[in-house]
Structure 1
Amino acid sequence: MGLNVPGLIATVGFYVAVLATGIWASKRAKAKTTTGTVTEVALLGGRTINLAVGIFTMTATWVGGGFILGIAEAVYSPQKGLAWALMPAYYSVSFIIGGLFFAKPMRERKYVTMMDPFQIKYGKTVAALMVIPAIIVDVLWVACTLMALGGTISTILDMPYVYSVVLSAAVAIVYTLLGGLYSVAYTDVIQLILIFIALWLCVPFILLNPIPLDISLTAFNHTYQPPWTGRVETQDICKWLDDFLVLSVGALGFQCFHQRTLSSSSAAKAQITCFAAALMILILGIPSVLIGAVAASTDWNQTDYGAPSPYERGEAYGILPICLQYLVPPYVSIIGIAAVAAAVMSSTDSGLISSTSMFTSNIYKNIRKEASDREIQWVIRIAVIVTGVVGTSLTFLDNSILGLWVLGADVGYCVILPQLICVLFCPVSNGYGAGAGYFLGILLRILSGEPLIFLPPAIHFPGGQIIDGVYIQQAPVRTVAMLFTLLCVLFFSYLFEQLFRRHVLPQRWDVLGVSNTMAPRLDQASSIADGETMTIMSPSALESSQAKVEENTQL
């Protein structure tokens, strides 16, 4: 099969349209710079993102290439099925929880990133530690989305994988460089509309193809492979619950989520954005489920793809583009390419701007307090490029989109989420507890092992089994690690507070200033001279707050 020229033309046309939208949005960003700081405009759109755009960009951020292709892969996989592919429901739960408990306090305190509360309460050093895993999550996110598009374009257009990945990454980097969050948000509107139309347009053609069996018949009957609905065996219940928590609650440990709520024009709109996105993401997940079900109901020997099946060839990760290539007319497959390309762009740019936000606001501006606006602009641009290049390079190291997606969520769930819960809702938490929980939690997670990165477990939790000489955990190890981190933060925070309060440890050893504050409320720590009014914790405001702590220490 030669190069699919019509498909290539359509793909290039889509990229040009997205790039044009990004350029238009960048002009709006420049206009807004006169009414807000460079950091706020570039990273939060000046906090003027309206409700409609906010809902679109929140939904599009999570409906990425990993979402669309990962769901189809899981439904099609004989070892998983629909019972293990409920990502739309997981993320819907995540949005609802985020809207109820996280969006309002974060937006009302006018944070720039989700790392700001750590910096305010624990100090710069501890906050910098928290930024590292958060950036790793975003880099994995970028890699996952680009891998999805690379597999799709290389399958349908017969283009080399490396060309499709590099081209897609370059377009996303360029328009993110031009307009920051404005470009990301407004291109997300176009991308989400295209995703919705294209996927739902492809579904009828796939369902009506005469080769696959009726998916209602294969849902519960063994045909070409086990039923696509899947099942959760008794011994797998704990693992299923673990996956559910990682992909639902764990999503709240992503800067991408909080960046959308923080860019809203008000706390109320931030909450509405979450609730509306919870409904939209359910609808957008249905096409991938149906395509995965059709793939599981297809005798591939009757198609031009031939035997053996995609699963037997190790190509289950690309089952959605394979269906678009062999089960629908060529012009429909081109539309499907556009849908996947749109999904990838909407998530790739989110990962780029997310990691850039944390690096610029919580690391660089703390090191270079006197940095000018022009310098900050260049730092943002360089950070976007570096994140894009690193994420792109990772796409050549793994061939499981679902695995890379879950690995990123794992980091957010086990490391970041428990720390965020403590810093926002647990007054007793302090920097010593956060540091102890950080290192001990990561240590436990590493010792628990991870098959996705071929890390054997050093700790064997009860209920596991040995397969091919390797111990496979059946316990919810990630949830155990998350809860362990949470408890460590609280325990060691209380312990050190008492040690300093009771003068068991001398105050001169208190490098984090805990003995002076004795676990203050976060809103007290972030208040400035205007009493109860909450303001953005800029570097100058933070320095003023820390100066007061030092002055109290001297007294």
Structure 2
Amino acid sequence: MIDWYGTAGILVFYSIILGVGVWAGTKKKNNGEEEVMLAGRSIGRTVGILTLIATWAGGAYFTGIAESFFTTGLLWCQMPFGYSFNLAVGALLFAKPMREAGYITMLDPFQEKYGSRIGGLLFLPAFMGDILILAATLSALGVSLEVILDISNYWSVTISTMFAAAYTITGGLYSVTYTDVLQLMFMVFGLLLSFPFAINNVQYYPNDSPNSTSTSTIDWIGHVEPKDYVFWVEQMLILVFGGIVNQSFFQRILSLKPSLDAFNISLISATVCFLLAIPAASFGIVAKLVDWSKIPSWYSET
């Protein structure tokens, strides 16, 4: 059964996002590549920090952290550490030289050194990476809307994609940046708003249950089997270094005003990105305390 109040709230939210995206598009002075792709290199400090955070701290970030903490514990909850180090390493090694060279995309230095053919070849893995990241984000969004509103995952993803495409086409990076900020604020507000309800409605295991979840018996940390050591390290390295070769990161760095210190802005973003993992992990903590056999819609095999 569709939750009409929830549906109305989602429609209002989407309308606000679309409105802000269209409004931000009015800041675009022309259709030149720097204006469309880098917002004329005019993004200020506060917006720059928030949009860099939003590059990684999206739906997949928050839901993934909660799920990882719930299913496998802290040791396998790698995203907060990996993505934060990712922003820090990107700031340390690439922010300053890329900005000083006046590049527009992350592929420009390769094309400058090796020619347009190599640049075109390197575009293919970059393109595929963006497609896969987009798929993960839309999947997280679709699942969230499916649970909250009881509507089809297919329609959740389709409608969300149409809205995002509409404001992106309208205003380029201006629209993307300002909607990034707004969406991040909504997500953080939503996490803080919903947590008291989650913690106050936990269906705890009874004390005499063999599965009683006394906080002293819960495996909060998790463990890494010896056979998984290499896999764990590989996953962390992918998070730390794999995200650097992502146009979204460089697009935000290169769009900042020339007078701003991109290095410090990136480090601030890395710190805040890590701190935002705390409210998300809190939901994983709550989930570990729940007696899921009392939840009618819970299917342990899924």
TM range (shorter): over 0.9
TM-score (norm 1): 0.51
Of 55, 58, 72, 2:49 maps to 55
Match of 2:15 in 1: 16
Q: Is the CA contact 1:212–1:294 (under 8 Å) kept in the aligned structure 2?
A: no
1:434-445 equivalences under 5 Å are none
Cα deviation, 1:406-450, whole Å, max 9, x if unaligned, reads: xxxxxxxxxxxxxxxxxxxxxxxxxxxxxxxxxxxxxxxxxxxxx
The alpha carbon displacement at 1:71 in A equals: 1.5
Match of 2:69 in 1: 75
Which consecutive unaligned segments of at least 5 residues does structure 1 have?
315-555
* SS of corresponding position for 2:142: helix
1:326-345 equivalences under 5 Å are none
The alpha carbon displacement at 1:219 in A equals: 5.9
* SS of corresponding position for 2:27: helix
Match of 1:221 in 2: 217
Of 174, 178, 193, 1:182 maps to 174
The alpha carbon displacement at 1:19 in A equals: 0.3
Q: Please say which structure displays the higher CA radius of gyration.
A: 1
Is 1:122 aligned to residue 121 of structure 2? no
The alpha carbon displacement at 1:138 in A equals: 0.5
Q: Is the CA contact 1:107–1:267 (under 8 Å) kept in the aligned structure 2?
A: no
Cα deviation, 1:474-504, whole Å, max 9, x if unaligned, reads: xxxxxxxxxxxxxxxxxxxxxxxxxxxxxxx
Q: Is the CA contact 2:202–2:290 (under 8 Å) kept in the aligned structure 1?
A: no
The alpha carbon displacement at 1:202 in A equals: 1.4
Of 140, 143, 148, 2:132 maps to 140
2:146 and 2:258 mapped to 1: Cα distance? 43
1:194-273 equivalences under 5 Å are 194-212=186-204, 221=217, 227-266=219-258, 268-273=260-265
**Superposition misfits of 4+ residues, deviation over 4 angstroms:** 217-220
Q: Is the CA contact 1:96–1:275 (under 8 Å) kept in the aligned structure 2?
A: yes
The alpha carbon displacement at 1:89 in A equals: 1.6
Q: Cα distance 1:128–1:219, how it changes in 2: closer, same or farther (>3 A)?
A: farther
The alpha carbon displacement at 1:112 in A equals: 0.4
2:297 and 2:14 mapped to 1: Cα distance? 29
1:115 partner amino acid: L
1:7 and 1:267 mapped to 2: Cα distance? 44
**Aligned residues: CA RMSD:** 1.8
Q: Is the CA contact 2:202–2:286 (under 8 Å) kept in the aligned structure 1?
A: no
Match of 1:295 in 2: 287
Cα deviation, 1:138-196, whole Å, max 9, x if unaligned, reads: 01111111111111111111111111111101000000000000000111121111111
- Identity over the aligned pairs, expressed in percent? 39
2:94 and 2:215 mapped to 1: Cα distance? 38
Is 1:276 aligned to residue 268 of structure 2? yes
Q: Cα distance 1:249–1:267, how it changes in 2: closer, same or farther (>3 A)?
A: farther
| Bigger relative contact order (CA 8 A; separation at least 6) | 2
1:208 and 1:198 mapped to 2: Cα distance? 16
Of 292, 304, 314, 2:296 maps to 304
* SS of corresponding position for 1:288: helix
The alpha carbon displacement at 1:55 in A equals: 0.6
Q: Cα distance 1:90–1:219, how it changes in 2: closer, same or farther (>3 A)?
A: farther
1:145 partner amino acid: T
The alpha carbon displacement at 1:273 in A equals: 2.0
Q: Is the CA contact 2:38–2:251 (under 8 Å) kept in the aligned structure 1?
A: yes
Which consecutive unaligned segments of at least 5 residues does structure 2 have?
208-212
1:31-46 equivalences under 5 Å are 32-33=29-30, 38-46=32-40
TM-score (norm 2): 0.93
2:68 partner amino acid: A
* SS of corresponding position for 1:212: coil
Cα deviation, 1:304-341, whole Å, max 9, x if unaligned, reads: 325x42xx1x2xxxxxxxxxxxxxxxxxxxxxxxxxxx
Is 1:151 aligned to residue 150 of structure 2? no
Match of 1:28 in 2: 27
The alpha carbon displacement at 1:67 in A equals: 0.8
* SS of corresponding position for 1:113: coil
2:154 and 2:41 mapped to 1: Cα distance? 37
Q: Cα distance 1:120–1:200, how it changes in 2: closer, same or farther (>3 A)?
A: same
* SS of corresponding position for 2:172: helix
* SS of corresponding position for 2:40: helix
Q: Cα distance 1:275–1:219, how it changes in 2: closer, same or farther (>3 A)?
A: farther
Match of 2:210 in 1: none
Q: Is the CA contact 2:58–2:184 (under 8 Å) kept in the aligned structure 1?
A: no
Q: Is the CA contact 2:45–2:260 (under 8 Å) kept in the aligned structure 1?
A: no
Aligned length: 296
Cα deviation, 1:36-77, whole Å, max 9, x if unaligned, reads: x61000000000111111111111121112111211222222
Match of 2:277 in 1: 285
2:60 and 2:189 mapped to 1: Cα distance? 19
